[in-house]
Every structure is written in C-alpha cells, then in structure tokens.
Structure 1
C-alpha cells in the first residue's frame, strides 16, 4: 500500500488539570467571558475559554517557540 498524505493524528486525549487562582484573576476571567459573549453573541464558560487562551498565549511567544524548537528531536 502506498503512503497517504495525511500524517498520523496526534494524541487528542484530554488531560484534566486542576488549578487554584486568586480572586482577582477569577474576576478578570469572568469579565473576559462577558466581553467574549458581547463580541460574539454567544456565552462560553470560562473553563471552555481558558484552553484557547493558553494556546493563543503559547503560540504567540516567539522566544518559547525557539526554545522549544531547539529541544525537539526527530
């Protein structure tokens, strides 16, 4: 059988992570969820927004990407 173009999909099993945050951060996250709802016209729970926010943050950190890229092995 010949190779197909689509590579094997990565592990997509969710990992549950429990954290404690300070009240100020909790309020800011609630405020962000309210701004998101106002902007997009649909409400999303903070717990659903946080993974997307963390992903966006990590993807925008160029220094981290360079550091991580230098540590990857093939």
Structure 2
C-alpha cells in the first residue's frame, strides 16, 4: 500500500470528549470499520470507528456551507422531549 495516499480525515488531534451513543445501519458500521483500518495503515497506530466518528462529524459540519450561512451558534439547540 502506498504511503503517499491521503484520506480526507487526516491524523487525529487529541480532544476533550463527551460520551454520546447512537445507532447506525450495519452497512455504515462496516464502512466505518474499513475506513478505520485504512486510516491506521496510512497514518500509523490503531484506531477504531468509535474514535473516528467525532472527527468525521466535525469535518462534515465545518464543511457544510448551509449550516455556516444559516447562523450557526445564534440559537440554542432544541431541548429533547
């Protein structure tokens, strides 16, 4: 495998975390596991899907122009019922 290959999600920074639980389709979990394996091969060090998910979501939100234009941060998120 070539080490010049890069993924959109680069090396992972150290961050403060908050536990969050969610459900996803088995096919998405399989894709996340494959992505984690490829990430580990390219950047070194074992990483699992659970570790990657927050970084992927952060990158997604940062790249969403509609979210940025929509006044992100102006209103508090709705409270769960």
Question: Fold match, TM over 0.5?
Answer: yes
Corresponding position of 1:39: 42
Counting helix residues as a fraction of each chain, which structure ranks higher? 1
Determine which structure has greater relative contact order: mean sequence separation of CA pairs < 8 Å that are 6+ residues apart, divided by chain length: 2
Taking a change above 3 Å as real, the CA distance of residues 36 and 13 of structure 1, as seen in their structure-2 partners, is closer
Corresponding position of 1:72: 74
Count of aligned pairs: 61
- CA distance in 2 between partners of 1:55 and 1:31 (Å): 20
Q: CA RMSD in A?
A: 2.1
- CA distance in 1 between partners of 2:16 and 2:45 (Å): 26
Segments of structure 1 that go 5 or more residues without pairing to the other structure are 1-11
Which secondary structure does the structure 1 equivalent of 2:53 belong to? helix
TM-score (norm 2): 0.65
Say whether 1:61 aligns with 2:64.
yes
Segments of structure 2 that go 5 or more residues without pairing to the other structure are 1-14, 76-81
Corresponding position of 2:22: 19
TM-score (norm 1): 0.70
Deviation, structure 1 residue 20: 1.0
